[in-house]
C-alpha cells in the first residue's frame, strides 16, 4: 500500500509506540488522527509538530474501551480527511501485579485491561472495516506483546489480553479479506517511560542491561523500531494477513 495520500487512525498515539507510528505515517505522507484518552496536551503538541513539518493531523479524544467512542473516533477520520485506509490499534493499558498475587486481580482490573487491550481492537476494527472497503483497500496493525505467547508480562490479565489480540487477528483476517489485511506486532521490552514507571527504575535498568547483553540483536525495542515494523506491515507486506510478528531482537528465541 502506498502510504502517501492515505488516511490513518493511530489509537493511543499521544506517547510511545503510538506517537512514533503517527509521526512516521505523517512523514510518509498520510493524514493522521492522533488519538488520546487523557493526554490532550501531548496529543496537541504532536499534531502541532506534524503540521509544522507540512503534514496533516488532528487530535481526537476517545476511550477505546467504549464502542461508541471507537465508532466516533473512526468517523472523525472520514469527516476530517474524507476516507480511511489505515488503522493502528496501539491503545492499551495494564495493572502491574505480581503473577502470584492472585487476589489482587479484581473484576475492575479485568474490565480495564480486557476493555482497552482486546475489546478496543475489535471495536475499532469493526468500525473501520466499512470505510476501508469503501476506499477499496485497508491495512490494520495491532500492537500485542510477547506476553501474549509466553504468559509473562506485567500481570496475568495483561498476558491474557495480548493472547486474545493474537487470536482475534487471525479471526478477523478470515472475514476482512480480500480488501483488508490485518496483522499484529508483538514487542518485548520497549525502552521508555511507560515501562520504566511500571517496573521501577532498578528493575527497568536491570532488564534493559540483561537484554542488551544477551538478546541476539543486543538490545531492546524502542518506539521507533516498533513503528518501523508497523509500517512494513502496512506498506510492504501486501500478501501477509493474520500474522503476529515478534519485535524483540530475538530475546524470546
C-alpha–C-alpha distance, residues 152 and 127, integer Å = 31
Q: How far apart are CA 114 and CA 215, in angstroms?
A: 30
From the list 158, 163, 168, 229, the catalytic residue is 158
Residue 34 near residue 47, CB atoms below 8 Å: yes
Say how far residue 253 (Cα) sits from the centre of its chain: 23
Contacts of 246 (CB under 8 A, 6+ apart): 146, 149, 185, 186, 187, 188, 252
3-state secondary structure of 35: strand
Q: Hey, what's the cell of 92?
A: 492499551
Tell me if residue 158 is catalytic: yes
In contact, 233 and 139? CB cutoff 8 Å: yes
Q: How far apart are CA 206 and CA 209, in angstroms?
A: 5
Number of helices followed by number of strands (H, E) in the chain: 10, 7
Rounded CA gap, 132 and 150, in Å? Answer: 33
Question: What amino acid positions are annotated as catalytic residues?
Answer: 158
Amino acid at each position: 500500500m502506498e502510504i502517501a495520500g492515505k488516511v490513518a487512525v493511530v489509537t493511543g498515539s499521544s506517547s510511545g509506540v503510538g506517537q512514533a507510528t503517527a509521526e512516521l505515517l505523517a512523514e510518509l505522507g498520510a493524514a493522521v488522527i492522533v488519538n488520546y484518552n487523557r493526554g490532550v496536551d501531548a496529543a496537541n503538541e504532536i499534531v502541532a509538530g506534524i503540521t509544522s513539518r507540512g503534514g496533516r493531523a488532528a487530535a481526537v479524544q476517545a476511550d477505546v474501551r467504549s464502542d461508541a467512542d471507537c465508532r466516533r473516533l473512526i468517523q472523525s477520520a472520514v469527516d476530517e480527511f474524507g476516507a480511511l485506509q489505515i488503522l493502528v490499534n496501539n491503545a492499551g493499558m495494564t495493572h502491574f501485579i505480581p503473577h502470584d498475587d492472585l487476589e489482587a486481580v479484581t473484576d475492575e482490573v479485568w474490565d480495564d485491561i480486557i476493555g482497552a487491550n482486546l475489546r478496543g481492537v475489535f471495536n475499532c476494527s469493526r468500525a473501520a472495516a466499512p470505510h476501508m472497503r469503501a476506499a477499496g483497500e485497508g491495512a490494520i496493525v495491532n500492537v500485542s506483546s510477547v506476553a501474549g505467547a509466553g504468559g509473562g508480562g506485567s500481570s496475568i490479565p495483561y498476558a491474557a489480553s495480548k493472547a486474545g489480540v493474537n487470536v482475534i487477528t487471525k479471526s478477523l483476517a478470515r472475514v476482512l479479506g480480500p480488501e483488508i489485511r490485518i496483522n499484529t506486532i508483538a514487542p518485548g521490552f520497549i525502552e521508555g517511560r511507560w515501562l520504566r514507571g511500571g517496573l521501577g527504575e532498578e528493575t527497568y535498568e536491570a532488564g534493559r542491561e540483561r537484554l542488551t547483553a544477551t538478546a541476539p540483536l543486543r538490545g531492546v525495542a524502542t518506539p521507533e523500531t516498533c513503528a518501523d515494523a508497523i509500517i512494513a506491515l502496512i506498506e510492504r507486506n501486501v500478501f501477509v494477513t493474520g500474522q503476529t510478528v515478534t519485535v524483540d531482537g530475538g530475546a524470546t528465541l
